[in-house]
Amino acid sequence: MFENQENKENESSGGNNLNRGTGYNTPPSEGTYSQDSNYQKSTQSENKNSYENNQSYYHPYQNDYHYSNQGNQGYNESQNYSAGQNYSSPTDNGMGGNIPPIPPTPEKVKKIKIKKPAGSHKFLKRAITVVACGLGFGLCLGLGVYVVGIATGTSLLTASNKSETALESTVQEMQNTINNLVKQTGSSTTDATTLKTSTGSTVVTDVTDVVANAMPSVVSVTNTYTESAYNLFGQAVSGDATSTGSGIIVGENDTELLVVTNYHVIADADKLTVQFIDGTTLDAQIKGSDSDMDLAILAIPLDTITADTMSKIAVATLGDSDSLQVGEPAIAIGNALGYGQSVTTGVISAVNRPIAIDEVTTKNFIQTDAAINPGNSGGALLNINGEVIGINSNKIGGEAIEGMGYAIPISAAIPIIQNLMTKETLVKVDDSQSSYLGIGGVDVTAELATAYSMPEGVYVTQIYDNSAAAQYGIEKGDVITAFDGQPVANMAELQNMMQYYAAGTKVDVTVMRISKVDYEQQVISVTLGSKADAATN
């Protein structure tokens, strides 16, 4: 841009210069640049625009021409010539310079109008018009309604109130109908929600009623046992330790309340206690166990249970795990981490899931994504009807896998439970009455049994003199598989069983004895000797 104040600058700064050779050329027409012009624009500095190659520039918004004399002409540099003015031509400087012509009188310059965004004002006007029309229409309508109301004696407010009253009446009728249907079906607002499907109905979310009915039949089990270890000096040390689990009340007889749990929950126990839903804790005894199925029955004498506690506990209802379907709801209740009874929910992820117990033995379990944590072992896995469909076992799933819990199918467990419930309750005897069999042995694990074609159990490696084993015909090389009708898997299990048998007790010992072809089973009746007597001999 050329401005008048810039015309006052001298030749060294020159705002807008016309550089030429031997003469001036005629200025170009308005708003145009002559041929070969070179225009360069910069920020607002002293030298804003430069035009070269003997050209001149006419700015359409200013009426002044600015010529700069940098040659041998007789004109003052940076001289301004106003449009339409006459001026005297200076004399020739004798160097052949051309006398610049009189600048033509420029035509009236038309100012360029900047177009505003199309329709901006028009849209605003239209919007105002529409709003005004709407207000006018609303006013007219309101006046019309008011006039009609006055003429007929009916108020719009009264009509609105009548409509609202009718709506409330309809809603109340619908609510009464729903309540009547609920009463007729025997359901309540706290029942588990159900979804109707093509195959029937299935569960949904609310399990509060199921849990409330099932919780009184679940107990916490605490096992106090002796733990042995070696210190830094290699010396054997031992002390009391405790572990926790869960159990399910499955029945009672004339003198005992019976609870089923996992065998690994009560293994090696020096003392067992059971805590009921009301917080009452009582001693329990082992009535029977099956380590192969990981099941055990505990007995609590009825005469130790108060009437108040009996009124708060219940016997669980056992269901049918054979009819389970993948995807149906599952509810796990147990003494998780020993903190007390807790509830987790999920679905049946798989049925009859084969799980390897060891490298050889595989058993089928129920798989669920309901959390089964340490302490849940022996607790109940329920269906939506509150029936026990499985006995939880954290031993199977372990702690490494999330969302994969396992339970012993109740249909497979029921025969074992019924058998163990008929056993004589075992009470750990005093040390002075401890029994003694008189053998030395090693464990025949599933791997060894497969490798050497032997039965699992305790392989007898030694028979001590004057012992019950020697007296009643147990031989070296026999494999003891059961003791008093209970399966024996290893030496530790056999020793644990004998804690409940006093010296002089007669028991049946089942052994597998090798013959010319294979192992043959024999049942040997043995009267147990005294451990105290064996120690003195």
Please tell me whether residues 378 and 476 are part of one structural domain: no
> Looking at residue 173, what is its pLDDT?
65
Could you give the CA distance from residue 537 to residue 524 in angstroms, rounded to a whole number? 25
All residues at 6 or more sequence positions from 497 whose CB lies less than 8 Å from its CB, including other chains: 483, 484, 486, 488
pLDDT band at 26 (very low <50, low <70, confident <90, very high): very low
Tokens of 441: 């042995």
CA dihedral (145, 150, 152, 153) positive or negative = positive
Tell me: do 437 and 502 sit in the same domain. Answer: yes
Of the candidates 56, 78, 321, 377, the residue annotated as catalytic is 377
Based on the fold, state whether residues 408 and 453 are members of the same structural domain.
no
Supply the range of the domain harboring residue 50: 1-114
Residues 319 and 450 in one domain: no
Q: Is the pLDDT of residue 186 over 60?
A: no
Q: Is 203 contained in some domain?
A: no
Q: Which of 253, 137, 212 is nearest to 386 (CA)?
A: 212
User: Which residue is catalytic, options 294, 321, 478, 484?
Assistant: 294
pLDDT, position 337: 83
Q: pTM, whole model, 2 decimals?
A: 0.56
Tokens of 182: 């609920």
Active site residue 377: yes
Residue keyed to tokens 């919780």: 215
Q: Residue 33: CA atoms inside 13 Å, Cβ hemisphere, count? A: 11
Quick check: helix, strand or coil at residue 534? helix
Same-domain check for residues 412 and 444:
no
Do 369 and 462 share a domain, yes or no? no
* From 95-99, 133-137, 212-216, 459-463, the region with the lowest mean pLDDT: 95-99
Which of 359, 386, 421 is the last residue before a domain boundary? 421
386 and 273 within one domain: yes
Instruction: State which of 366, 393, 421 marks the end of a domain.
Output: 421
Q: How many residues does the chain have?
A: 537
Which amino acid, residue 78? S
Residue 362 pLDDT level (bands cut at 50, 70, 90): confident
Rounded distance, CA 405 to CA 246, Å?
Answer: 15
Rounded CA-CA distance 49/171 in Å is: 83
Pair 409, 508 in one domain: no
Among 154, 159, 169, 296, which Cα is nearest to 223's? Answer: 296
Q: Which residue has the higher pLDDT, 163 or 207?
A: 207
Partners of 200 in the β-ladder:
197
Residue 413, H or E segment: helix 410-421
How many domains does one find in the chain? 3
**Among 56, 264, 467, 484, which one carries the catalytic annotation?**
264
Same domain, 259 and 405: yes
Using an 8 Å Cβ cutoff, are 447 and 453 in contact?
no
Closest CA to 391 of 453, 333, 327: 333
Is 66 marked active-site?
A: no
- The 3 state secondary structure assigned to 40-106 is EECCCCCCCEEECCCCCCCCCCCCEEEECCCCCCCCCCCEEEECCCCCCCCCCCCCCCCCCCCCCCC
DSSP calls for 508-527: EEEEEEE-SSSEEEEEEEEE
What are the phi and psi torsion angles at 52 (to 5°)?
Answer: -120, -175
Among 77, 96, 114, residue at a domain's last position: 114
Q: Are 439 and 462 in contact (CB under 8 A)?
A: yes
* 264 lies in the same domain as 354: yes
The span from the first CA to the last CA of the chain, in angstroms, equals 128
Percent of the chain topping pLDDT 70 = 61
Q: How confident is the prediction for the chain on average, in pLDDT? A: 74
Burial group, residue 328, by CB count within 10 angstroms (0-12, 13-18, 19+): middle
**Does 294 participate in catalysis according to the annotation?**
yes
Lowest mean pLDDT among 53-67, 362-376, 407-421: 53-67
Average pLDDT over residues 372-394: 92
Are 404 and 454 found together in one domain?
no
Q: Residue 229: which pLDDT band, with cuts at 50, 70 and 90?
A: confident
Q: CA nearest 290: which of 413, 409, 434, 372?
A: 413
Residues 332 and 450 in one domain: no
323 falls within a domain: yes
- Give the pLDDT confidence of 243-284 residue by residue, as tens digits: 999 999 999 999 999 999 999 999 888 899 999 999 999 999
